[in-house]
Every structure is written in C-alpha cells, then in structure tokens.
Amino acid sequence: MNLKGKTVFITGASRGIGQQIAIACAKEKCNLLLHAREKKNLEKTLSLIDKEDIEVKTFAAELVNMDEVERLIAEVKSCGSAVDIIYNNAAIMTPWIADVWSCPTLDWEKTFATNVFAVVKICNAFIPDMIARGFGRVINVSSGIANEPELAPYSASKAAIDKFTKDISVKLRGTGVLVNTLDPGWLKTDLGGPNADHEVTTVIPGALIPAKQESEELNGQMIRAQEYRDK
C-alpha cells in the first residue's frame, strides 16, 4: 500500500527505533506527528527529515504519567490531522536486577505505566475514530525478549502488549483497521545496548510492513522486522 499522504503518529520518535520509523515514513511522504519526552529531544530527528516535503508536528509528554498521556491524546486530536497510522514505540526498561527476587514494586509500576497503560489509552482513544473512517493501522512495538528474569518488568510488559493486541484485533474484523505487534529484534540502541545483534537501521523495512499491509489476514499478528532486512 502506498503510504503517501497518510498521517503517522509515532511515540518515542527522538532516537532509536522511533527515529528510524520517522525517517522511513518521511521518505514514504507521510505527514508525521512525533512525540518525545521534551520537544527539544526531537531536533535530531527533525534534522534528518527536513528535506522531505511533508507536514511535521511535534508533541511532548511523559508517558509514565497518565495525566500527560491524556493531554498528549487531546493535543494530537486537536491538531487538525486525522491519525491514519500509529506506532506505539515509546518504552522504558528499568535497571538489570541482580537479585531477581527483590525487584522494587516501583519498577513494575513505572514500566507498566509507560509500556502498557499509555499504549492502551492511545489505542482506546484513536481506534474508534479509525473505525468510523474505515481505515487505520496500529503497530504496537513489542519484543522477542525471553528467559531474562533480570528484566522481568520489561519482558512482562511486552507480553501484556502482545496479549492486548491479539485480543483487540478480533473486534476489528471487517472495519478496515488492523492492529499488530512489531518485534524489532535486539538492536544497538540506548535501550538495547552496544552488544545487541543488529544495527538500529535494520528495523527498516520490516517496521513498515504492518503499516503497508492491505490484507486483513495480517491482524493481531507479530511482525518480526529482522525477517525483512536486506541480506
């Protein structure tokens, strides 16, 4: 599917995966709604797409704070651009747990607030509008992380996203709206660390697959970006 002219809302667009998705969508001639914790954090991303003839708007919010999530949603909805595609990309990972039995409750609360509750709020706010218009693509960035109890809050939050995405997909059959998860692979980002398997640029073109998909057969599924990388 040609994405030219589609409006794409990307959370966590200041660096890493979100930045790569923003660059790729800009090259597809999409209009962009870019989120970061602070607008100044988006300056690098903006400099990388400034040659594209597209409309770009920026937003700031701390997704761990549900009041700020609601404000973000209100600002995006009032900006004059109907959202066609959402990348729920922003996520946090709390520090490695040396003793897996003593992870602070606060780590769980912050992780689930940012990685799950904010995603749910955004989906609940925009998917009904997409259904009403008969078109929408929602991509919830997940993870292939497994067998890492030292990172339990993060891995459990991504499992929750997988389940939430699959469950809501059944409500979207025949609506023109698709919701899927994206496993970007283990990437060399601030979150993934320098020892990761892949450069961050390898998330493209795989990250665009669920946005470009036209068939309803790809709904409630996990798309693994590394399966689409140039060999």
CATH number at residue 211: 3.40.50.720
Query: Is residue 215 included in any domain, yes or no?
Result: yes
* 154 in catalytic set: yes
Active-site hit among 14, 87, 154, 157: 154
Active-site hit among 143, 155, 157, 169: 143
* pLDDT class of 105 with cuts at 50, 70, 90: very high
Q: How high is the pLDDT of residue 231?
A: 52
Map tokens 């697959």 to a residue.
209
* 78 in catalytic set: no
Q: How high is the pLDDT of residue 192?
A: 76
When divided into structural domains, the chain yields a total of 1
Q: 73 with 45: CB under 8 angstroms?
A: no
Rg (CA), the chain: 17
Query: Is residue 147 included in any domain, yes or no?
Result: yes
H or E element at residue 177: strand 177-183
pLDDT at 74 over 70: yes
Task: List helix spans (H) across 7-117.
Answer: 16-27, 43-49, 66-77, 105-112
Region 129-150: what's the mean pLDDT? 95
Query: Is residue 1 included in any domain, yes or no?
Result: no
- Write out the two tokens for 136: 């929408």
Does the predicted TM-score (pTM) go above 0.85? Answer: yes
* 87 in catalytic set: no
Query: Is residue 145 included in any domain, yes or no?
Result: yes
Q: How high is the pLDDT of residue 19?
A: 98
Query: Is residue 64 included in any domain, yes or no?
Result: yes
Cα dist from 82 to 39, 50, 156, whole Å:
21, 22, 32
Give residue 41's domain range: 7-228
